[in-house]
Chains A and B, each alone.
Chain A
Amino acid sequence: MMLDIRCDIQSGTLAVVFGPSGAGKTTLLRILAGLTKPDSGIIRSGDTTWYDSERGINVPPQQRSIGFMFQDYALFPNMTVEENILFGGDGKDRAYAGSLLETLQLTEFAKRKPMHLSGGQKQRVALARALAHKPQVLLLDEPLSALDAAMRERLQGEIAHIHRLYGGTTLLVSHDLNEVFRLAHNVVCLEHGKITANGDPKQVFSDTSISGKFQATGQVAAIDKEDAVNIVTVITGNNTIVKIVAFDDDIRDLSVGDRVLVFIKAFNPIIKKI
């Protein structure tokens, strides 16, 4: 797949790279981290050039001031939680490691090895380790995909909190619309290796051509036929369940899992595929 991207991210923002699997989200993050080498192009962070194919610049990951959180967390099995975090820093700054442990509520697990931690705890250790390096850019590759819904919601809050607390720029990969609405200042939509939209999530995911009184984006959870009409159940961005009456014509190209826009025009909520 060809990845062709041109994008600026304002420093200090929390941006979410959103798109279906196989869109190139992880590859984009790996290229930014210096783990995958692009064929050509330029990558700049502030005043520093990380990559420039024409000038032959390719700064190695060690010198890019990034924190990378892997999908599998990549915690070092031979080290305890505290050692993992210390390894992320300069190995000596115990005070900073201690404050990270405290912020992420990991103090009681400090002496445990990663294999004795739950998924949520591992996620927090990985986040703490990435922060221990004091990076300018934090890259999070689908950090919450392996967790259940309740844990995911809690940690979304934690990531937002950490981002505010430690500053810097955060780039998070996700294919979950809820996550985008909860976290992103800025969303970069990626499809088939190309950016299809970039901006404020509310603007990106709503249709400005519709003058509705109420608009919400969500996902179709169920379509039930009742007598002459159909009941479409939609779970919207903030986990609200909306039931909408729709005629056969309205749901012809609609199936469970589709992303939809729910809006009220005149009197009735109307549903439209987006």
Chain B
Amino acid sequence: MPTRLPFQNRRNNAVDPDFLQTLLLTFKLAASTTVILLVIGLPVAWLLAYSNFTLKPILEALISMPLVLPPTVLGYYILLAYSPRYWFGEWLARVVNVRLAFSFEGILIASVIFGLPFMIQPLQSGLRSLPESLREASYTLGKSETVTFFKVLLPNIRPALITAITLTFAHCIGEFGIVLMVGGNMQGVTRVASVAIYDEVQSLNFTRANEYAFILFAISFVLLTIIYSINRKQGSWKLL
């Protein structure tokens, strides 16, 4: 009996294109989300770490909401926002002719919102853990806040930066509720691996569900092991 790779099509022995497409879409979503969140997360983490404004607790609470809220709640509100019946969705449809519900861009935005705490919290606590004197020393040497951030602060929170990126990516790969809610389950558009597992189990296709599940399990396990081994190497801050 010829051996068959787990994700090869039973009938013609080629790798199932739908299976590959779903996995690729999953990684495309996770990678795009991570890049966008890195761009948004760095300045926001800097703001939260070093300034003290009246609305800061509200901003911090909003960013942390995805940690405590069921994805369905946020998903529901995002879906409402996308709907052409309400002002934002209506404005999008009218002005830019874009409909976000059940589209890749739609799940990308939802995924960015949902990943906010995973990117911002490690960065913020990384910045807070640096001795204040590092930042101040750079200022007394005539360096601007931007130069200080990129040349002094960021290189010294590298473990926090790697944790934030890896955690955001891993969490995004595992995202289920919000993608299903906002994007549905459209092959090649919004169908990601976690949704596919649910779908395959519903249709009693356990072999395929098992393949998806194993890949997600392995990737998450490797990513988390990387984070923990980096954090183990990082000692506490001692300047003296």
Binding site for B on A (CB under 8 A): 33-35, 60-64, 66-68, 70-78, 87-88, 114, 119, 122, 129-130, 132-133, 146
Contact = CB atoms under 8 A, between A and B. Distances in A.
B36 interface: no
Given A74-B131, A133-B142, A61 B136 contact: yes
A77 B138 CA distance: 13
B2 interface: no
Interface in B10-60: none
Given A74-B134, A77-B239, 13 more contacts: A35-B136, A60-B139, A62-B143, A66-B140, A67-B140, A70-B137, A72-B240, A74-B136, A74-B239, A76-B156, A88-B141, A130-B141, A133-B141
A28 to B, nearest CB: 15
Contacts of B136: 33, 35, 61, 68, 70, 74
Q: Which of B134, B140, B156 has the most CB of A within 10 A?
A: B140
Contacts of A61: 136, 139-140
B139 A122 contact: no
Nearest to A68: B140
Contact of B155 (A35, A74, A78, A132): A78
B240 A87 contact: no
A35 B152 contact: no
B133 A72 contact: yes
B236 interface: no
B143 A68 contact: no
Nearest to B154: A78
A130 B138 CA distance: 10
B94 interface: no
A72 B140 contact: no
Contacts of B155: 78
A94 B96 CA distance: 54
A80 to B, nearest CB: 12
A95 to B, nearest CB: 18
A75 B141 CA distance: 12
A62 B144 contact: yes
A129 B141 contact: yes
A62 B239 contact: no
Contacts of B143: 62, 87
Interface string B124-151: 0000000101101111111110000001
A73 B239 contact: yes
A201 to B, nearest CB: 27
Contact of B240 (A34, A64, A78, A146): A146
Interface string B81-120: 0000000000000000000000000000000000000000
28 contacts: A35-B140, A61-B139, A62-B139, A62-B140, A62-B142, A62-B143, A67-B140, A68-B137, A70-B133, A70-B137, A71-B133, A72-B131, A72-B239, A73-B239, A74-B131, A74-B136, A75-B239, A76-B137, A76-B138, A76-B152, A77-B239, A78-B155, A87-B151, A88-B141, A122-B239, A122-B240, A130-B141, A133-B141
Given A62-B144, A72-B239, A35 B139 contact: yes
A70 B139 CA distance: 12
Contacts of A132: 141
Contacts of A76: 134, 137-138, 152, 156
A150 B229 CA distance: 41
A221 to B, nearest CB: 27
A74 B239 CA distance: 6
Nearest to A139: B140
A146 B238 CA distance: 13
Contacts of A114: 239
Nearest to B235: A115
A66 to B, nearest CB: 6
Nearest to B151: A87
Contacts of A130: 140-141
A52 B156 CA distance: 35
Contacts of A87: 138, 141, 143, 151
Contacts of B156: 76-78
A234 B240 CA distance: 31
Contacts of A60: 139
